[in-house]
């Protein structure tokens, strides 16, 4: 096994620090992407979807900040990510939610990879810290999958898109119900 470089000043290795900084980039990009989607929804009159995405953008920023604080508390240096390449236009509301789903799946893979690395080098503190993200991703994927399903259930013809927008407002309650929670502890 590779030599680990824990020191009295740091409880995470530089390798884990790098991975956590990459995760910071992902959460920062999620926040920016969802904000852009929210804005597009606003311009198209999808008010409830816009609210849903504005709120999610804020949540993603909180996910990023939680990582910032952890990295610095563990003796590393959290880096403000450069966020570029944000998409501003979308073909349809369905495209927006499909992209949310694909994006969340990528985030889950990234979290799982860091969790795996932590186990390999026995960094149980970071492993433990990341369990919050493991649970969060399970919920966020459920939410995003349900959002995409709504398009198939209702259909986009006629008043369909109006109804889909209304249903998006019920997604949080749905995710809480299927994950067996009464309220939510979304971070």
Q: Which residues are annotated as a binding site for Fe cation?
A: 27, 60, 63, 104, 137
Min dist CB 23 to Fe ion, Å, is 9
Identify the CA nearest to 108 among candidates 12, 18, 185, 23: 23
Q: Which residues bind Fe ion (CB under 5 A)?
A: 27, 60, 63, 140
Radius of gyration of the chain measured on its C-alpha atoms? 18
Burial of 9: CB neighbours in 10 Å, binned 0-12, 13-18, 19+: exposed
Q: How far apart are CA 96 and CA 57, in angstroms?
A: 14
Residue number with the smallest Cβ distance to Fe ion = 63
Minimum distance from residue 121 beta carbon to Fe ion (Å): 24
Residue ranges of the annotated binding site are 27, 60, 63, 104, 137
Beta bridge partners of 7: 10
Closer to Fe ion at the Cβ: 159 or 173? 173
User: Please, which residue, 54 or 154, has the CB nearer to Fe ion?
Assistant: 54
Nearer to Fe ion, 26 or 161 (CB): 26
């Amino acid at each position: 096994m590779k030599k680990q470089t824990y020191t009295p000043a740091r409880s995470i290795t530089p390798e884990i620090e790098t991975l956590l900084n990459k995760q910071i980039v992902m959460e920062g990009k999620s926040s920016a992407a969802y904000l852009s989607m929210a804005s597009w929804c606003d311009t198209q009159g999808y008010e409830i979807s816009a609210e849903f995405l504005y709120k999610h953008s804020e949540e993603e920023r909180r996910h990023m900040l939680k990582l910032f604080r952890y990295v610095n508390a563990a003796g590393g240096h959290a880096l403000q990510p450069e966020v570029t390449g944000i998409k501003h236009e979308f073909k349809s509301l369905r495209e927006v939610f499909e992209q949310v789903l694909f994006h969340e799946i990528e985030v889950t893979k990234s979290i799982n990879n860091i969790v795996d690395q932590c186990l390999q080098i026995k960094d149980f503190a970071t492993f433990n810290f990341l369990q919050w993200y493991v649970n969060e991703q399970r919920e966020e994927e459920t939410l995003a999958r349900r959002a995409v399903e709504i398009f198939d259930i209702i259909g986009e013809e006629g008043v369909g898109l109006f109804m889909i927008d209304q249903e998006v407002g019920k997604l949080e309650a749905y995710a809480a119900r299927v994950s067996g929670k009464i309220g939510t502890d979304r971070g």
